[in-house]
Amino acid sequence: MCGRFVLHTPPASLAGYFDIDAIPDLAASYNIAPSQPVAAVRMPGQHRELVLLRWGLVPSWAKEAKTNYSMINARAETVAEKPAYRTAFRQRRCLIPAGGFYEWRQTPDGKQPYYICMQQDGVFALAGLWEHWEKQDEVVESCTIIVTEANDTIRPVHDRMPVIIQPSDFDRWLDPESRDADAMKALLQPWPANEMTIYPVSKAANSPANNDARCIAPMM
């Protein structure tokens, strides 16, 4: 699964990477956690936009705007069929910018966090889905991150990883008119292992209350 991630890319760099004219001045975040607002790129019309969505999907048919922890991730193998995700998978796909993410290994001394990022240490795009929930005067727009089997770099620590979308596939992934489920599912593959790196970091990353660069600094 993917339960925490990082985004510290300057807004100007995000605008260039995702081909968006305007991006709000996002503060760097080194420990983004479920239920927090996260940046997401979507294309509800002809143009891409960056919006803030609550992490933890609330299906449009839910009776109330609550979600459980499991709704932060959708499994690639079943995302097209599960009632909570299948409509969003057809029509409301998004990209969630990230600079890296965390996974944990249980050790005799407790949970050891590991930081995972690209070897080139740049921004990349997690595959996401978004939903619009509305009841009376309350409106919630939320999202989930799609996960798949881990690649060889990550597998020693965890058996799952978030799906990462290639820039050449951004248009196809974001287009709400692209409704071929098989074609979309073909994009949900593990990222090449040789392009990623993983290393242990301080246990400060275990708490979302800690949100600074020490969370991603390699352990000495």
Handedness of CA 145, 112, 189, 95 (dihedral sign): positive
For the question of residue 103 being annotated catalytic, the response is yes
**Phi, psi dihedral angles at 184 (to 5 degrees):** -70, -40
Whole-number Å distance between alpha carbons of 162 and 128:
9
Nearest C-alpha neighbor of 125 from the set 100, 90, 89, 150: 100
| Distance of alpha carbon 24 from alpha carbon 181, whole angstroms | 32
| Residue among 2, 117, 143, 215 flagged as catalytic | 2
Q: Which of 77, 81, 103, 143 is catalytic?
A: 103
d(CA 90, CA 175): 10
Supply the Cα-derived Rg of the chain in whole angstroms: 17
Alpha carbon of residue 45 to chain centroid: 22
Half-sphere exposure of 92 (CA within 13 A, CB side): 21
DSSP class per residue in 168-206? GGHHHHH-TT---HHHHHTT--PPPGGGEEEEEB-GGGG
Residues involved in catalysis: 2, 103
